[in-house]
Amino acid sequence: MIAPLLAIRNLTVQFRVDSGWVTAVDDVSLDVVAGDCVGIVGESGSGKSVTALSILQLHERATTRMPSGSILYQGQDLLRAPGSTMRRIRGSEIAMIFQDPMSSLNPVLTIADQVSETLRQHQGLTGVAARKRVVELLGLVRIPDAARRADDYPHRLSGGMRQRVMIAMAIACKPRLLIADEPTTALDVTIQAQILELLRDLRKELSMSVMLISHDLGVIAEFAQRVIVMYAGRVVEDAPMAQLFRRPVHPYTMGLIAAVPKLDSDASRLTTIPGRIPAPQEVIPGCRFSPRCALVEDGCLHEQPSMQMVSDHQSARCPPRILALGEHHG
């Protein structure tokens, strides 16, 4: 098996709050294979974005305890890399786009200024050469009339256009890995589809890996080859896309899949998972999902479940279910 482009092992990130330390990301391990798209799905507060920011070492220094575990990018541990290495990697090797395109662009710089920033930083491009490349990039993300748009300020662009600009900035130096943190959440549905299609095409053209973070399983389903389901700071299931939908193992995954609205059903109410995600400082002795789980057993309340292999490519953090499935098949 080839070494993955990015391998996160046992990542734990803690934040300081008034009452001490809370664990936002707990023992997360995941792989991103070169050229693959990995989807990370989970509710708000499940630790998806913190995981992403940890890859780039961009969490607030003052309130974060040095994350433990390792984040290996092409064999190099980013958690222990010096600042200069991180600055080189950011933007040129690993790029990121954010949820809210309305606030992700600097209002006092023109589009061309902002996009060329990355080019100047990593490729030393300035002046006419940079501008030429900017217009090229804006064309690549399908912004109509790119040459004119380049001189506009961000407030003249719509949300969808701004997200395209963000994508242009992200791909400017042909990164190997693009982290997309809820890239379509702030956009309306038709624009969402366009942006996803654009990302899909760019991924192929530039043969980059994508880590797509979303709370919308529908978005992930359209895009990812591999899905990682996170709940309350932990990975609860890790499976190839098709397999996850065909045979979800963790009850939380099952709940998420059941909660996706279906066009062909007449149900007037949407299916939900009862309860809410626990606050990070809440102490839950056993499985963190147990208070909301329909299949909860006595053992779940006392013992922390560990990740276990279900099959060659699928693993989950729910021993009772894995056992039941095993018996069923066996």
Partner 1 sequence: MTDTGLGSLATAAAIVAPRGHGTWQRLLRHRSFVIGFSVILLLMLAAVLAPLLSPVDPSAMRVRFRFRPPSSTFWFGSDMFGRDVFTRVLYGAQISLFVGFAVCVVSGLCSAIIGVIAAQFRGLDGAIMRLMDALMSFPAILLALGIAAALGPRVSSVIIALTVAYIPAGVRIVRAAALTVREMDFVQAAQVSGASSLRIVMRHILPNCLSPLLVHLTFIFAYAMLAEAALSFLGVGIQPPIASWGNIIAEGRDYATEAWWVMLFPGIAISVAALSLNLLGDALGDMLDPRLKGGD
Residues that bind partner 1 in the complex, under the rule CB under 8 A: 56, 58, 62, 87-92, 95-96, 98, 100, 103-109, 117-118, 121-122, 153-156, 166, 169-170, 172
What are the tokens at 139? 């064309």
In terms of CB distance, is 16 or 302 closer to partner 1?
Answer: 16
In terms of CB distance, is 113 or 222 closer to partner 1?
Answer: 113
Q: How far is the CB of 15 from partner 1 (least distance, A)?
A: 16
In terms of CB distance, is 61 or 269 closer to partner 1?
Answer: 61
Q: What is the Cα–Cα distance from 327 to 94, expressed in whole angstroms?
A: 43
What are the tokens at 155? 């407030």
Q: How far is the CB of 281 from partner 1 (least distance, A)?
A: 23
Q: What is the Cα–Cα distance from 313 to 319, expressed in whole angstroms?
A: 16
Q: What is the Cα–Cα distance from 194 to 189, expressed in whole angstroms?
A: 9
Q: What is the Cα–Cα distance from 77 to 71, expressed in whole angstroms?
A: 5
In terms of CB distance, is 108 or 283 closer to partner 1?
Answer: 108
Cα 76–chain centre separation: 21
Q: How far is the CB of 115 from partner 1 (least distance, A)?
A: 10
Whether the CB-CB separation of 73 and 93 falls below 8 Å is answered with yes
Whose CA is closest to 199, among 142, 238, 154, 260? 142
Q: How far is the CB of 78 from partner 1 (least distance, A)?
A: 13
In terms of CB distance, is 134 or 169 closer to partner 1?
Answer: 169
Q: How far is the CB of 57 from partner 1 (least distance, A)?
A: 9
